[in-house]
Every structure is written in C-alpha cells, then in structure tokens.
Amino acid sequence: METINNYINGSLTEPVSKQYLQNIEPATGQVYSLCPDSDEHDVQLAYEAAKSAFDGWSKTPLEERMLMLMHIADGIEKRMDEFVAAESKDNGKPLKLARAVDIPRAVSNFRFYASAIQHFASESHQMPGVGINYTLRQAIGVVGCISPWNLPLYLFSWKIAPALATGNCVVAKPSEITPYTAYLLSKVCIEAGLPKGVLNIVHGLGGKVGQAIVEHEGIKAISFTGGTETGKRIAATAAPMFKKLSLELGGKNPTLVFADCDLDETVKQVVTASFSNQGEICLCGSRIFVQKSIYEKFRDAFVARVKTLKVGDPNNADTNLGAIVSEQHKNKVLSYIQLAKEEGGKILCGGSDLGQTELNDRCKNGYFVLPTVIEGLHFQCRTQQEEIFGPVVTLTPFENEEDALTMANSVRYGLSAAIWTNDLKRAHRVAEKIEAGIVWINSWLVRDLRTPFGGVKASGVGREGGWEAMRFFTEPKNVFIKS
C-alpha cells in the first residue's frame, strides 16, 4: 500500500507523530493508501522552512519565478495520466472529468499566475505641485492555503499559484479525504527544482493541521475554500489575530429558467449544471426555479434526460456520475433525500443509493447515489435552504421575475446563479438583483481566470482569480515623495 508523505523543506517527510490515516477509494470502499496524520509539530516545521525560504524567494527576479511556475505546470502535464487516475481514484469522479477539467485546469492555474506576475503593476497617484504617491505591493511572508475535497488539485493550485507568484512562501493543506494529487504535486515541485521551503504541504485532519495553520502567529494570511461552518471557525480564530482572510464557502445556487428560454438547450445544460462531479461542485445549481407556463414541459424533459445519466465505475468511459466522495457524505446526501420526503417532496427520479446488483464487482462496496430530482417543496423548507452538495436538485415553479428573485435570494448563501432567458433586458435586470458573486446567463461554469471568483452572504468573504488573488497575497504600502 502506498504511503503519502508531507512535503517540508524540499523533502518528502513522514509526520512527526509517525501516525497515518487510511485513505479510501470511494468507488470501491477500499483503503488504498495512507495519509499522514500530522499535527502542530509538522506545521511548525513547515513554517520554519517557509520562513527561511522567504527572503530568497521574495527577492527572486520575476522572470525566474515565472519560469519556476511554468516548470511546475509542465511537470503536471508530463504526468497527466498519473494525475488524472489519482484524482479520479481519490475523489470518485469520472476519469473523463478529471481529464477534461480538474488536471488541465490545475496546469492552467500555474501558467496563468506565472504570466500574471510579469504584468502585475502597482499604482501611482500624482498630486500636482505637491508630490507623488506610489504603492508598493509586497509579498506578505508565510501564508496558509487550505482546500477541500471536491476539486482537489484544481482548488489547491488556484491558491498556491498566486501565493507563490507574488513571492510568498506557503504552508498548504489539502483535504485529508483527497490528499493524493497534492502528494504528486510535491514530487513535481522537487523535480522542477523549486527551492526548498518555498512550498510546504502538510497532510492531515482539519481540526489538527488546518487549525494549527490558522492559529500560527507567523502565518499572516489564510486562503481557505471549504464549508461555511469551517469558514466561521477559521474567521473566529484568525480575526483577533488580524490575519488577512479569503474565504470561499458553501452555496445553494439557484437556476432560473424563464419561459422565453431555448428549452432544449436549457434542459441539456441544466442537467450538466446539476449533476457534474456528482453535484459536488460548489457552483452546481441545486435549486431550479421554472416559470409556471413551461413548468410541466421543462420538468418532463429534464427528468427524462436525468434518467439517461449513467452512474457507476468512474473508470468507465460512459459513466456520467461516479462515486460520492465518502461513506459519511453519501449518508448525509441520503439523509437529505429522506428529509425532502418528510417535508412533502415528491421524488421524480433517483431517491436512493445504487443497489449492489447494479454495480460491477470492483465497485459493489462503493458509495453511489442516483441523480435525484424532487418537486413539490416550499422554497423555504430545509431541503431548499441547506447545502446538500450531492446529486440532488429541487424543481419549483414561479409566476414572474419578482417571484423568481424572492425565491432565489431566500437562502443564506450567495455563490453563483444561472439565468436562462432570451430576453436580454431581463437577463441584465435579474443578474443585477440576484444575490451572488458569479452569474451565468445561458451558460454554466464558463471560467475566465481573470474574473473575480467568490460569493456573498454565507458563501464567503473576498475574491480569488485574476488581480484579486494577486492583491490578496500582497500587502500594499503607499510611499509619498514631496516634489
């Protein structure tokens, strides 16, 4: 069985405690590797390594930093098959999704920030006859990056790349549920010749390693992606220490389907937006609101299409939905389906896990849930208010625009929204009024790495992406010179 190790001060090292956690393949339910059960001692070692590396790395010429990040991107790309297989095995997502989205986007993240650092300029403000202000944007020092299990390498690199590009040294923690591609990344960094201590990856539990990173006095900024409750704890710990915080949290995203949409295309895209990665993408639309005049037509076409989705072995080329990430998460998803029934919801399709008989031998102990569509629930019930983060969506009719906005904005979250309409004026109007950080019109998940990424309300604080991340990972210092 393979043993994953921490990456500290340029080397792969075992945890100080020498304790390991079992890492399970969700498609089979089998333990297949061991993940370090690190603690505050490992975080301290990582911090010391990062601190020693900071002076050298922050003064490294931009072109050299750019080249190093490019080497890392190339290194991932060279091992593409290995990364794709590992991400699928660790998370349960279809192999073809890891190949089409996760790993290529991780490569793009490194390349994007490698080139961004060469174009990142700071401001100057002239005061005629008085003098000039110029703003330095300096690296913060040692920063912490903590990421979740749903898009493991993709979200990990989305933080690490801008942090490194701007000259910081990093103590990073991937999710203990999906540690494998972060381990492969350590190997790529060693092969690329990344100076020791610049990036340190400490594996382990959130309550131990994550908490120790957040509590560490020397770690000056935390970039976190994960659940809202964890975000709250992190904010409560970090705020009195005056740390810079970027929090990308949960969602309960609305999809608004207006009667004037292109119905066939909308049905097709909304199915994808609902069930990609088993519904375990923070941007998946889990509450679908449909204008009354087309409600039945949309519902029937939608359910018919969902029924064609194949759930099963992530390795199969025709699999649309793979395994749920863990047994615990599968049980959480199923408990929400039960709750929906108790709240009076009607299950239109799915509604259970996949029976063992429907799975091949390899996967018969895996964690699979059928894509589930529910109707008949009030928009304020728990099923429609709480994040499920699985292959479960609700369908709810609405009368008019105002009605749709009331329902869409009724949750505590505000990450993303999708609007389906051919009325341009309506699209602009609704986009402006919807409470979300990201709005797609007649599309979903189109990403331009230059745009601000993040949510409002309980979906987070701050933005990632483009200059936003570069600004987060730097400290502005204004300097005035008298003329």
Both tokens assigned to 299: 């519902």
Both tokens assigned to 176: 């203990």
Q: From the list 152, 167, 251, 322, which residue makes contact with ligand NAD (rule: CB under 6 A)?
A: 251
Window of 80-88, 191-199, 246-254, 368-376 that interacts with ligand NAD by CB under 6 A: 246-254
Q: In whole angstroms, what is the distance from residue 461 CA to residue 464 CA?
A: 10
Q: Which is nearer to ligand NAD, 146 or 290 (CB)?
A: 146
* 261 has catalytic annotation: no
Q: From the list 25, 39, 102, 248, which residue makes contact with ligand NAD (rule: CB under 6 A)?
A: 248
* 282 has catalytic annotation: yes
Query: Does 440 interact with ligand NAD (rule: CB under 6 A)?
Result: no
Instruction: Spot the catalytic one: 261, 282, 284, 363.
Output: 282
Window of 126-134, 208-216, 271-279, 398-406 that interacts with ligand NAD by CB under 6 A: 208-216
Q: From the list 26, 92, 210, 390, which residue makes contact with ligand NAD (rule: CB under 6 A)?
A: 210
Q: Which is nearer to ligand NAD, 175 or 421 (CB)?
A: 175
**Three-class SS state of 24:** strand
Window of 25-33, 378-386, 455-463, 473-481 that interacts with ligand NAD by CB under 6 A: 455-463
Sequence-distant (6+) residues with CB within 8 A of 331 are none
Query: Does 207 interact with ligand NAD (rule: CB under 6 A)?
Result: yes
Sequence-distant (6+) residues with CB within 8 A of 97 are 88, 276, 277, 322
Q: From the list 104, 195, 227, 376, which residue makes contact with ligand NAD (rule: CB under 6 A)?
A: 227
Q: From the list 51, 99, 187, 233, which residue makes contact with ligand NAD (rule: CB under 6 A)?
A: 233
Q: From the list 23, 157, 168, 230, which residue makes contact with ligand NAD (rule: CB under 6 A)?
A: 230
Q: From the list 15, 148, 152, 391, which residue makes contact with ligand NAD (rule: CB under 6 A)?
A: 148
Query: Does 457 interact with ligand NAD (rule: CB under 6 A)?
Result: no
Q: From the list 46, 249, 301, 419, which residue makes contact with ligand NAD (rule: CB under 6 A)?
A: 249
Angle between helices 152-165 and 62-78 (to 10 degrees): 160
Spatial contact of 312 and 278, defined as CB atoms under 8 Å apart = no
Spatial contact of 237 and 215, defined as CB atoms under 8 Å apart = yes
Q: From the list 112, 149, 367, 444, which residue makes contact with ligand NAD (rule: CB under 6 A)?
A: 149
| DSSP label of 101 | I
Query: Does 150 interact with ligand NAD (rule: CB under 6 A)?
Result: yes
Sequence-distant (6+) residues with CB within 8 A of 175 are 147, 148, 149, 152, 226
Q: In whole angstroms, what is the distance from residue 221 CA to residue 290 CA?
A: 42
DSSP for 269-312, please give it: HHHHHHHGGGG-STT-EEEEEEEGGGHHHHHHHHHHHHTT--BS
- Cβ 389 to ligand NAD shortest distance, Å: 5
Query: Does 175 interact with ligand NAD (rule: CB under 6 A)?
Result: yes
Dihedral-angle region of residue 120 (phi above 0 means left; psi in -120 to 50 means alpha; beta otherwise): beta
* Among the listed residues 182, 184, 193, the one whose alpha carbon sits nearest the alpha carbon of residue 156: 182
- Cβ 150 to ligand NAD shortest distance, Å: 5
- Cβ 182 to ligand NAD shortest distance, Å: 10
Query: Does 176 interact with ligand NAD (rule: CB under 6 A)?
Result: yes
Q: In whole angstroms, what is the distance from residue 187 CA to residue 42 CA?
A: 18
Instruction: Spot the catalytic one: 248, 280, 387, 435.
Output: 248
**Three-class SS state of 49:** helix
Place of tokens 């895996």: 366
Site string for ligand NAD, 342-361 (x = CB under 6 A): --------------------
Window of 48-56, 125-133, 140-148, 420-428 that interacts with ligand NAD by CB under 6 A: 140-148
In terms of Cβ atoms closer than 10 Å to its own Cβ (0-12, 13-18, 19+), residue 97 is buried
Q: In whole angstroms, what is the distance from residue 219 CA to residue 199 CA?
A: 13
Which residues partner with 139 through β-bridges?
474
**Three-class SS state of 143:** strand
Of 253-312, binders to ligand NAD (CB under 6 A) are 282
Write out the residues near ligand NAD by the rule CB under 6 A: 146-150, 155, 173, 175-176, 206-207, 210-211, 214, 225-227, 230, 233-234, 248-251, 282, 387, 389, 415, 455, 459-460
The residues assigned a catalytic role are 248, 282
